[in-house]
Amino acid sequence: MMKDIRSLTSSELKKAVILMGEKPFRSKQLEEWIWTKSAKSFDQMTSLSKSFREKLSEKFYLRRIVLSEKQKSRDGTIKCAFEVEKKSPADSSVVEGVLIPTQSRMTACISSQVGCSLACKFCATGRLKLMKNLSAAEMYDQVENLASIASEEYNVNLSNIVYMGMGEPLLNYSNVLESVNRICGTPGLGMSPKRITVSTAGIAKAIKRLGDDEVRFNLALSLHAANDEKRSKIMAINETNSLEELAESLKYFYEKTGTRVTFEYIIFKDFNDEIKDARELAKFCKNVPCKINIIEYNAIDEGEFEQAEIYNVDAFAKFLEDRNLIVNVRRSRGKDIDAACGQLANKNKPGEGALKKVLHST
C-alpha cells in the first residue's frame, strides 16, 4: 500500500531513500522539495533523477490540502475553506483557516481537527461531531497557504500563528507538535516557536505533557470562568479537568518551560461579567505568571448567551488592571463574513466551515 511521504519523519525518510538505492543526501533534497519548495508532485522535483522520481511515485503519494474558497472581510480579515482528506465518505472534508491583519501583526489561525468533541455551549463548532484529526502536513499546509495569501494581499510575511480554529489541539497532540516542528524547521518555514500559540480548552494531563516535552511555543487556556460551577455549565471538559487540576498543570508547565500562560476569557452578559467574576479570575491568576485576553462574545444560531455591555467589560478589565494584571480587551474581526469568534459551524458546502475561538488572540 502506498504511503503519504509527508507522514515520514526525517530519519524515516532517510532510511526509505537508502532502501531505494539512493545516496543519503538525497533525503535532504527531497525534504526541501516537500517542505520548503512546496512541490505538488514528484515530477516537479527537477533536481532529482527521473529514475528516483519514478521510484518515489511507486511507493509514496504526495497530497496537499486544497484551497476551495476565500472570503475577505471589510476589515481585511480573510477566511479560507480548505478541503482535506476524508476519514470516511460521510465525514466533512472542510476545515477553515483565517488570516488576521492588524497594524502590528499578520496572524494565521489554523484548525487542528475536523469538527470537535468538546461541545462547549458558546461555540458553534462544539455542536459538530469529531470527524478527523488533521495530520501535521495538513496543519502545515494551512499555514503555508495563509502565508502565501498574506504575501499576495498585503505584501508582508506572517508574524504569528495560532492554533485556535476547529478542534482541540491537545487531543491531536503528536500531530500538532510535529506540525510545529515542521513550521519552525529547516527544511520548513523557519518560524520562531515564540511566534506560535497553541490554545486548549483545558486537558490537565496534556498540559503537563507539554511541560515534560519542554515545548517552546506559547500556551493559551480557554478559561471563561474561574469558578468550577460556572465553568462546568459552559464547558463539559471542566467536569473531568477541574480548575484545581488545571492550576496544578499550569504551574508544572511554567516550571518546565518558563513560558507565561495566556488566559482567554469570553465575557457573557449576566453570566461572567460582574466584579465578583473578575475577583475570582484575579485569584486564579495568582497560580502562574499570565496575561488575560478578554474577548467579546459573538452570538451563534440558537445560542443562549449575549454580548456583555461595554461598560461592564471596561469595569471588569479595570478591576484586573488595578491588581497589576496584564489585560487585553480583544474586539472580534471578520464578523461580516462570519469569521468572528465561535460563530461558525461546518455545513455541507465549502466555505461554511467552523472556527472554535478564532480572531481574538492577535
Q: Which of 22, 31, 96, 144 is catalytic?
A: 96
- Residues 100 and 66: their CA atoms lie apart, in Å, by 20
b/e sequence 297-308, b meaning 16+ C-beta within 10 Å? bbebeebebebb
Q: How far apart are CA 17 and CA 30, in angstroms?
A: 9
According to DSSP, the β-strands at 94-101 and 106-110 are antiparallel
| CB neighbours of residue 1 within 10 Å | 3
- 96 carries an active-site annotation: yes
Q: How far is CA 152 from CA 58, 79, 148, in A?
A: 35, 15, 6
Task: Find where cell 488570516 sits.
Answer: 99
- Cα–Cα nearest to 56, from 100, 102, 107, 3: 3
Cβ atoms of 261 and 253 within 8 Å: the answer is yes
Handedness of CA 106, 112, 114, 120 (dihedral sign): negative
**Residue in 80, 116, 123, 341 annotated catalytic:** 341
Rounded distance, CA 192 to CA 212, Å?
20
8 Å CB contact between 319 and 282 = yes
Give the three cell numbers for residue 246. 488545571
Do residues 42 and 56 make contact, with C-beta atoms less than 8 angstroms apart? Answer: yes
> Is 341 among the residues known to form the active site?
yes
Please return the burial class of 119, using the count of CB atoms within 10 Å of its CB with bins 0-12, 13-18 and 19+: middle
The Cα-based distances of 326 to 4, 53, 284, 292, 322 in angstroms read 44, 54, 14, 6, 10
**Residues carrying an active site annotation:** 96, 341
